[in-house]
Chains A and B, each alone.
Chain A
Amino acid sequence: MEVTVKIFRYNPEKDQRGNYVTYKVEADENDRVLDVLEFIKGKEDGTLSFRRSCAHGVCGSDAMRINGRNMLACKVLIRDIGANITVEPLLGLKIAKDLIVDMEPFFDNYKKVLPYFINDSALPEGGRERLQSPEDRARFDESTKCILCAACTTSCPSYWANGEYYGPAAIVTAHRFIFDSRDEAAGERLQILAETDGVARCHTAYNCTEACPREIKITKAIGEVKLAMITGKLD
């Protein structure tokens, strides 16, 4: 089938502003958008720039706006979105070139929530591991799935309005550690998230949950963090 692909193009060395270029290519309905982009880059226009790495929905490199909604290009089949495709970079981040955005602000916000395990108490006697029950592990299982693709954060209108907002991805990561029974810095993280640019900026637009390629219930995770903040309880 013939596929019409309209791609946002921007070359920082030449262009003052971005523009759209349309390509017509042959593709199979079972091809992914990433395959089509690879084909265009390989056969039609080698200057097209986009990120990709594993191409299997695990690394999160190829998050972009496809037909107006954030998705991973490697997880979307042509048959599911039709023969007319518009591909644009993620919203709310500076565009470096074509579909490549500057992820630094995203990772800066991510670092603010202390995205690592904190436990300064002595290790359990006779053991090298801090054990955890399956129930306690299940409490934060959902939020361990995040691949930091930024599809959620850049679909959030609160983040578009204010780039200082930590964003859904950072809060999901905070959730992963706040509800980990072995971690000891939940209070510190909740305090960080209680700041002006923390969870209060979430207005439950729900875009993040829909955009997440890992199907994490992000709004729910943010809701649980909000409740923990209000009640001071992690139940």
Chain B
Amino acid sequence: MGLKRDVSLSAGLRYKGPAGYLTYILHRIGGLGMAIFIAVHMLASFVGGRTGGFLNGIYENWAFQIFIFFCVLFHAINGLRITILDLWPKLLDYQTEAIWIEWAVFIPLFGISVFVIISTALGG
């Protein structure tokens, strides 16, 4: 008797973890986003023709480009933080500060990129 292990996605997302948990979730969304992008890209090249053109249109859309750039940039910067902390565990004393630095690097870079993508989309 007894209820099974409650491991549903919604239960996990409702857990009120610290800042590191948010980066953990965004890291996974980033990975998933990149996998979707690569899959669409490969599929477009594979099928070609009208369907390929339609699929190309999806990832060439400026909104999708903003999303995919978020995925790539966040995944890269967060991965770098994790790698650095894994190689130098003593720095884990400054885990919270490391996350602040990560956001301080990510936000301006992403902001500039969004600006460039949107202005190119509107100008083009």
Residues of A within 8 A of B (CB): 10, 12-13, 17-18, 65, 67-69, 91-97, 102, 155, 157, 160-161, 163, 203-207, 209-210, 217, 219-220, 223-224, 226-227
Number of interchain pairs (Cβ within 8 Å): 95
- B27 cross-chain contacts in A, Cβ below 8 A: 203
In this complex, the interface size class of chain B, counting residues with CB under 8 Å from chain A, is 20 to 34
> Residues of B with Cβ closer than 8 Å to A?
1-7, 11-12, 14-21, 24, 27, 82, 85-87, 89-90, 92-93, 95
Question: What is the bound-complex CA distance between A219 and B4, given in angstroms?
Answer: 28
Chain B nearest CB, measured from A20 CB (Å): 13
Q: How far is the CB of B7 from chain A (nearest CB, A)?
A: 5
B5, B7, B18 pick with most chain A CB within 10 angstroms? B5
Are B4's CB and A207's CB within 8 A?
no
Task: Select one of B18, B19, B24, B85 contacting A157, CB under 8 A.
Answer: B24
User: Is A91 touching B15 in the complex (CB atoms < 8 A)?
Assistant: yes
A229 to B84, CA, bound (A): 16
How far, in whole Å, are A223 and B89 apart by their CA atoms in the complex?
5
Known: A13-B1, A92-B6, A94-B2. A157 touches B89 (CB 8 A): no
